[in-house]
Amino acid sequence: MAAKTADATWRERAQRVVPGGMYGHLSTRLLPDSYPQFFERSSGTRIWDVNGNEYVDYMCAFGPNLFGYGDAEIDDAYIAQLGIADTMTGPSPVLVKLAEALVAHISHAEWALFCKNGTDATTAAVMAARAATGRSTILRARGSYHGTSPWCTPLQAGTTKEDRSHQIYFDFNDIASLAAAAAEAGPDLAGIIATPLNQHAFLTQQLPTAEYAKAARKICDERDAYLITDEVRTGFRCSRDGLWDDLGAPPDFSAWGKVLANGHSLSVLLGSARARAGAEAIFVTGSFWFSAAPMAAALVVLRRIRETPYLETIERIGTQLRTGLGEVASRHGVGFEQSGPVTMPLWKFADDPDLRAGFFWCSEMLRRGIYTHPWHNMFINTAMSEQTVAATIVAADGAFGALTASRSQLGPNLKLSALLSRA
Ligand code: PMP
């Protein structure tokens, strides 16, 4: 009998002491069987699983890794601040310096309220819009992910109908649908929350039209309501500014997290002058929201965003990857769709409703040392290089070949078919 792998042993131990063996978006429950659950180490663009396998990591910790894992300058700032002070009875001046840096940098921002996770920031934004208007109804795009508070967690288990009330859905990029939702809200419209681009798992990613973003802005202006953008995932990966600032539709509130401290725990709610009263009215806080070390790391991140060509770098790498994958897929005669910005790609196979081809291909990539995702968008970081792309293309060549050879024999994807048939 083959010896049990370290990953299998950790899974068994976790099964006994962790709900479901693992929970949330880091669970491998909806990934191919070959995907490891536990990782030991990370550096630059690479991760090592507990079985000792090394991968180029296109998930980037689901976003936070923008400048590479363990970036020396960022982590030195974190460690230096840790040596001075981190979580204390009161905040450090680092908080004010970071707020000033963000306000100077993001067009619509006049103030900053720091927290830990993206959910903290999106939830505070919704609360502040309600507090500012004295109204309840929030419009949100159907299928958008804003985190896991009871008002927005994707599964209904454990939430009440009341948690989900006062929300009306519209379709992303669909001005008529947005206008209809605003009309339905009537005088109770408090705000609109939108992801700057459509990044729904499983689906082709969509960029917003400027008309759609401006229509959302206009509805909020006309109705004295608040526009919230959820930049938690997009933040700094497609623009140095807010994405809807670029489109001429600056939000009142914007929620950021993930890349802000390049993997250290920090998120922020930013807002315009008009939005300040709402943020001042609500009571939100947390034991760790004021910790100084992640803020010191974020100061370095922001300086890099301002002063280095990091965005051009990830766009160049993302474009090389998209072009190279497109070429190798068509050489193999495989219908392979790449959607979303090049820095946040999502890949799908043609004629693959239960993702059996996607699962097979990703497993083949994994075997070749490339960690990709079959249904969630991936991320490019600045530690990637032309060599990373070249190695990925070589792996993809092999994986497309293996897929072509096996596709007719692939059985149904039992992990996903029940979920996708409910959707
Ligand atoms: N909004 C968006 C668009 C996200 O992608 C996420 C996280 N994937 C969140 C909110 C929630 O962030 P967090 O997991 O840090 O609470």
- Cβ(231) to ligand 1 under 6 A? no
Based on its alpha-carbon atoms, the radius of gyration of the chain, rounded to whole angstroms, reads 22
**Closest protein CA for atom 1 of ligand 1:** 146
Categorize the per-residue pLDDT at 418 as very low, low, confident or very high, splitting at 50, 70 and 90. Answer: confident
- Cβ(122) to ligand 1 under 6 A? yes
DSSP 122-164: HHHHHHHHHHHHT--EEEEETT----SSTTT-SS-TT--TGGG
Query: pLDDT tens-digit profile of 342-361?
Result: 999 999 999 999 999 999 99
What's the rounded Cα separation, in Å, for the pair 233 and 64?
8
What's the rounded Cα separation, in Å, for the pair 126 and 242?
18
Place of tokens 């992303």: 172
Select from 217, 215, 213 the least CA-distant residue to 234: 213
- To test the pocket of ligand 1, the residue of 23, 25, 144, 146 to mutate (highest count of ligand atoms within 8 Å of its CB) is 146
pLDDT of residue 3: 87
Q: How high is the mean pLDDT of the chain?
A: 97
Both tokens of 164, joined, read 């989900």
pLDDT of residue 422: 66
Mean predicted confidence (pLDDT) in 110-122: 98
CA 148 to ligand 1 centroid distance, Å: 8
Query: pLDDT tens-digit profile of 7-57?
Result: 999 999 999 999 999 999 999 999 999 999 999 999 999 999 999 999 999
Provide the 3-class DSSP secondary structure of residue 32.
Answer: coil
Say how far residue 408 (Cα) sits from the centre of its chain: 34
Q: Assess whether pLDDT exceeds 80 at residue 163.
A: yes
* CATH code of the domain made up of 6-62+309-422: 3.90.1150.10
Say how far residue 185 (Cα) sits from the centre of its chain: 29
Provide the 3-class DSSP secondary structure of residue 15.
Answer: helix
CA 201 to ligand 1 centroid distance, Å: 12
What's the rounded Cα separation, in Å, for the pair 303 and 296?
11
Q: Assess whether pLDDT exceeds 80 at residue 202.
A: yes
Every domain of the chain and the residues it spans: 6-62+309-422, 72-307
Query: pLDDT tens-digit profile of 221-250?
Result: 999 999 999 999 999 999 999 999 999 999
Select from 207, 221, 282 the least CA-distant residue to 250: 221
Asked whether 98 and 261 are in contact (CB, 8 A), the reply is no
What's the rounded Cα separation, in Å, for the pair 109 and 100?
10
User: From 3.20.20.70, 3.40.640.10, 3.30.200.20, 3.30.70.3000, which CATH number describes the 72-307 domain?
Assistant: 3.40.640.10
Mean predicted confidence (pLDDT) in 140-168: 96
**11 contacts: CB under 8 Å, gap ≥ 6:** 21, 22, 37, 38
CA 276 to ligand 1 centroid distance, Å: 23
Ligand 1 atom at shortest distance from the alpha carbon of 120? 16
In this chain, the answer to whether the domains covering 6-62+309-422 and 72-307 adopt an identical fold is: no
Select from 95, 157, 51, 50 the least CA-distant residue to 291: 95
Q: Assess whether pLDDT exceeds 90 at residue 79.
A: yes
pLDDT of residue 411: 95
CA 120 to ligand 1 centroid distance, Å: 9
**Closest protein CA for atom 9 of ligand 1:** 147
Mean predicted confidence (pLDDT) in 255-270: 98
Provide the 3-class DSSP secondary structure of residue 299.
Answer: helix
What's the rounded Cα separation, in Å, for the pair 415 and 139?
32
pLDDT of residue 2: 75
CA 289 to ligand 1 centroid distance, Å: 16
pLDDT of residue 420: 78
Select from 381, 387, 393 the least CA-distant residue to 342: 381
Helices and strands counted in the chain (H then E): 13, 13
CA 119 to ligand 1 centroid distance, Å: 6
pLDDT of residue 1: 64
Q: Assess whether pLDDT exceeds 80 at residue 423.
A: no
